[in-house]
Structure 1
């Protein structure tokens, strides 16, 4: 793959064989994220588990102390009694069957997070085929199926993110923007890494975190210690 001049210049600053401390890595990220737009910063964690086994699944959610830097659009499936509370908490959309039909008939996806009260899961369950592949299906473990929809909305708006393994046993999550300070990025990194460690399955054997790599949208990968 041919790389641009900006990328190649940034890559010269990164030692490929070195595993950086989180403090070193954040400083280096700031130096290598040189695009004209505000690049996203992502953390990629390879785990020593096998996602094919139910007892080795890793999934959860965490509120990043400094948010993601992205405006989050929240859709809430709830009854009329909770609709006002959801909207007051900052939900962009709140309702029931009418929203489900809009998704099904209009292929509407102008939202980033879906929250549902337990009584609405009969409606939401019908959307599994379209919400599931996009990672939008509400889930109790992630706190997105809850009777307290207002609290869930506030957490999502404040920077709550979900994490889960992909088929290659890797977690991919945003931890902020290039415009964040190194200290803000490090705080978010530690919050996410702490949550991943906390979610370690009892069935996991051997080395849990195989590797962790930080990268800006257009920048080189930076290996970072999985410790917190």
Structure 2
């Protein structure tokens, strides 16, 4: 007797049944994905803010200025009188020490290095006489010689100046000769700050008057960073003389850098800004510390 053969399920059908039982496959004919739709949202309208007024902008600037972090040296500022007394106490054993005033300016790009000449009410150091060379001819040359110029001449002095034959500390020129000397001496005297120019007043018709104005005065000038240093008094000077010298020096520097009241009014009318804004004024001595001045 023969037994009927029973068909065994295949491996593929077994695998399909396992997958269906594990993932709960939906019945045939039904979709497994459900879609939904909603009404489109309205576009949000952005309201334009009104432009702030000048009063609001000023109030905002004052608020930000109060929040701004102050310098750690802000509380160490002293008045000029207090700074003089402190330095005098430090230099009690050195009566011949010198007070030095340091003025720091903003020195923005494109501005010229501040410089000028000054006559202090009471000089702190012995003045050195300037050796003046004047490019002039005719009557102006004779007046320059009588006024005390050491070297006077025309275009024949150009080669000697280029070779260093004339050790002058100041150069003046008349307007008629400036075009003749500029091409040859501009690169030599320009980097030294000695080239005559109309802006500084060293190109002038009145050579004699200019020499009279600068007689007895000393030159001051800043460095590339815009820092100006000058000795203003000796330690054995009375405090009144030190204050007078310091105030006078600061007034000259403010006029040269465009920080005076008169220049401010002109700048408001013309819509221009100061040439170099003064950022700090410091008084120091030979062995003493640098003290920032508050009343300048």
Shorter-chain TM-score tier:
0.5 to 0.7
Taking a change above 3 Å as real, the CA distance of residues 187 and 141 of structure 1, as seen in their structure-2 partners, is farther
CA displacement at 1:24 relative to structure 2: 5.2
Question: Matches of 1:155 and 1:175 in 2, distance apart?
Answer: 21
The residue aligned with 1:145 is: 203
CA displacement at 1:79 relative to structure 2: 1.6
Q: Is the 8 A contact 1:142 1:162 kept in 2?
A: no
Q: Which runs of 5+ in 2 are unaligned?
A: 1-74, 260-271
Question: Matches of 1:75 and 1:186 in 2, distance apart?
Answer: 36
The residue aligned with 1:210 is: 279
CA displacement at 1:48 relative to structure 2: 2.5
The residue aligned with 1:63 is: 118
The residue aligned with 2:3 is: none
Taking a change above 3 Å as real, the CA distance of residues 169 and 61 of structure 1, as seen in their structure-2 partners, is closer
Secondary structure of 1:140's aligned partner:
coil
CA displacement at 1:120 relative to structure 2: 2.1
1:222 aligns with 2:283: no
Taking a change above 3 Å as real, the CA distance of residues 84 and 29 of structure 1, as seen in their structure-2 partners, is farther
Taking a change above 3 Å as real, the CA distance of residues 196 and 98 of structure 1, as seen in their structure-2 partners, is same
Question: Matches of 2:244 and 2:150 in 1, distance apart?
Answer: 28
CA displacement at 1:81 relative to structure 2: 1.5
More strand by proportion, 1 or 2?
Answer: 1
Q: Which runs of 5+ in 1 are unaligned?
A: 1-16
Mapping for residues 24-35 of structure 1, pairs under 5 Å: 28=87, 32=91
Question: Matches of 1:39 and 1:76 in 2, distance apart?
Answer: 37
CA displacement at 1:96 relative to structure 2: 2.1
**Higher RCO (CA 8 Å, separation ≥ 6 residues):** 1
CA displacement at 1:101 relative to structure 2: 1.5
CA displacement at 1:130 relative to structure 2: 1.6
TM-score (norm. length: structure 1): 0.67
Q: Is the 8 A contact 1:44 1:171 kept in 2?
A: yes
TM-score (norm. length: structure 2): 0.54
Q: Is the 8 A contact 1:39 1:178 kept in 2?
A: yes
After superposition, the CA RMSD in angstroms is: 3.8
CA displacement at 1:84 relative to structure 2: 1.9
Question: Matches of 1:41 and 1:92 in 2, distance apart?
Answer: 33
Secondary structure of 2:204's aligned partner:
coil
Larger radius of gyration: 2
The residue aligned with 1:128 is: 186
Mapping for residues 1-228 of structure 1, pairs under 5 Å: 18-23=76-81, 28=87, 32=91, 43-50=101-108, 52-54=109-111, 57=112, 59=114, 61-66=116-121, 69-73=126-130, 74-105=132-163, 107-108=164-165, 110-125=167-182, 126-161=184-219, 163=221, 165-172=222-229, 174-175=230-231, 178=234, 181=237, 186-198=243-255, 199-200=257-258, 202-204=272-274, 208-214=277-283, 219-220=287-288, 222-225=290-293, 227-228=295-296
Question: Matches of 2:179 and 2:98 in 1, distance apart?
Answer: 36
